[in-house]
Amino acid sequence: MQDNPGSSPGSTPKPEALAGRVPEFVRVGDTVRRPATGSSAPVRGLLVHLEEAGFGGAPRYLGTEPDGSMVLSWVEGWVPADAECWRVC
């Protein structure tokens, strides 16, 4: 993607590091950049499927940067800093 989704014309939002367990994710305006990994294609497929199914609680896949990073929509919320928060006892 050559343009910056989520930015207004003539402006370039400053990248913002995100808190949480994945410091490589960066917020740019109302988008998030997710570095390319071996799971990028399955993640993209899942996000597209969720959007097509009408699920509104997941980010939208918006495209891919020249370096392979995925561009996702920003979803307001929080991410636990400790994976134990997700464990079911």
CA 57 vs. chain centroid, Å, equals 13
Rounded to an integer, the average pLDDT of 69-80 is 86
Task: Tell me what pLDDT residue 85 has.
Answer: 60
> Is the distance from CB of 48 to CB of 64 less than 8 angstroms?
no
| 76 or 10, which is more confident | 76
Task: Tell me what pLDDT residue 3 has.
Answer: 41
| 56 or 81, which is more confident | 56
| 18 or 30, which is more confident | 30
Angstrom distance (rounded) from CA 72 to CA 64: 9
Angstrom distance (rounded) from CA 14 to CA 86: 31
